[in-house]
């Protein structure tokens, strides 16, 4: 995910350690789509950088065959555009709904999506599941206006990521109390066993904070601090990924399989040796 998030990384080679990814909707591991594989692979090499041409590989021979198939696959053109209703439409729709529906923004969005008529073959209502989940969580904040809740629930957030959701709720909690909303985040130390994963979460939380600071500039007043932290986070992700290069791994006499092992597997291998 750190590679696929759109970071401006200066890397020559992308090595896929695996081609499966957790899917929050089905709560299961799924093989990457051709679009996801190409997005990640496309981070290798960048015009006007030290590595104008990129290289892509996979850790296992079987995955390499799958990867070649995914990269050769033509992407299906998008025939539908995803849209969200502006607040004015939600506000007008809410005036016609019972109070219990209006109080639960998730239920309100679900009712709107069922009722809305979209032009066939051109549009679809996007992010309905995420908005329903977040709208339901915001039901407890009764002091917030409908418009304030609307701005929060349309924020770009991964509802399957526990750390991001908890940070989101903390921001809402402070906002609902009319308290200054601080970033409330520390970047992890490199010694952490899940260092890169924690950096990914920090990147997502900082991006969320910056997005909300554009909607609520007075309450989310630490925008400059969040921007500096995001720059540091991006740099630390790049450094961490560079340490996964074959040259560095070989220099440490640790093969790539061991380096990317889970903490429990890595500890077991060290004990055996």
> Which stretches does DSSP call E strand in 25-95?
28-31, 55-58, 81-83
Bridge partners (DSSP) listed for residue 23: 28
Could you give the CA distance from residue 7 to residue 80 in angstroms, rounded to a whole number? 27
The stretch 17-36 carries a mean pLDDT of 78
**What pLDDT digit, counting tens, does each position of 56-109 carry?**
888 888 889 999 999 988 878 878 888 899 999 999 999 999 998 899 999 999
Rounded to the nearest 10°, the torsion over CA 24, 30, 34, 35 is 10
* pLDDT value of residue 7: 62
**What pLDDT digit, counting tens, does each position of 108-142 carry?**
999 998 888 887 778 888 888 889 999 999 999 99
202 or 48, greater pLDDT: 202
- pLDDT-wise least confident of 73-77, 82-86, 160-164, 197-201: 73-77
**What pLDDT digit, counting tens, does each position of 222-259 carry?**
999 999 999 999 888 878 877 765 554 444 433 444 43
> pTM higher than 0.85 for the full model?
no
Q: Is the pLDDT of residue 264 over 60?
A: no
Which helix (H) or strand (E) segment holds residue 125: the answer is strand 123-125
Share of the chain above pLDDT 90, in %: 39
Could you give the CA distance from residue 2 to residue 197 in angstroms, rounded to a whole number? 8
């Amino acid at each position: 995910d750190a590679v696929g998030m759109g970071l401006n990384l200066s890397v020559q080679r992308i090595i896929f350690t695996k081609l499966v990814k957790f899917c929050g909707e089905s709560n299961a591991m799924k093989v990457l789509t051709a679009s996801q594989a190409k997005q990640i692979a496309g981070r290798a090499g960048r015009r006007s950088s030290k590595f104008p041409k990129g290289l892509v590989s996979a850790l296992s021979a079987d995955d390499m065959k799958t990867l070649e198939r995914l990269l050769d696959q033509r992407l299906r053109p998008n025939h539908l555009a995803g849209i969200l209703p502006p607040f004015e439409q939600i506000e007008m729709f809410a005036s016609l709904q019972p109070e219990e529906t209006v109080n639960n923004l998730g239920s309100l969005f679900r009712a709107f999506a069922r009722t809305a008529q979209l032009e066939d073959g051109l549009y679809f209502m996007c992010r309905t599941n995420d908005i329903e989940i977040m709208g339901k969580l915001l039901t407890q904040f009764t002091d917030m206006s409908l418009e304030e809740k609307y701005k929060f629930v349309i924020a770009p957030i991964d509802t399957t990521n526990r750390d991001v959701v908890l940070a989101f709720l903390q921001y809402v909690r402070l906002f609902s109390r009319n308290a200054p909303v601080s970033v409330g985040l520390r970047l992890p130390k490199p010694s952490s066993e899940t260092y890169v994963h924690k950096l990914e979460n920090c990147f997502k939380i900082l991006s969320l904070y910056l997005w909300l600071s554009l909607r609520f500039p007075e309450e989310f007043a630490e925008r400059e601090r969040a921007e500096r932290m995001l720059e540091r986070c991006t740099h630390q992700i790049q450094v961490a990924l560079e340490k996964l290069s074959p040259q560095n791994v070989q220099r440490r006499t640790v093969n790539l399989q061991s380096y990317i092992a889970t903490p429990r597997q890595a500890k077991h291998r060290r004990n055996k040796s």
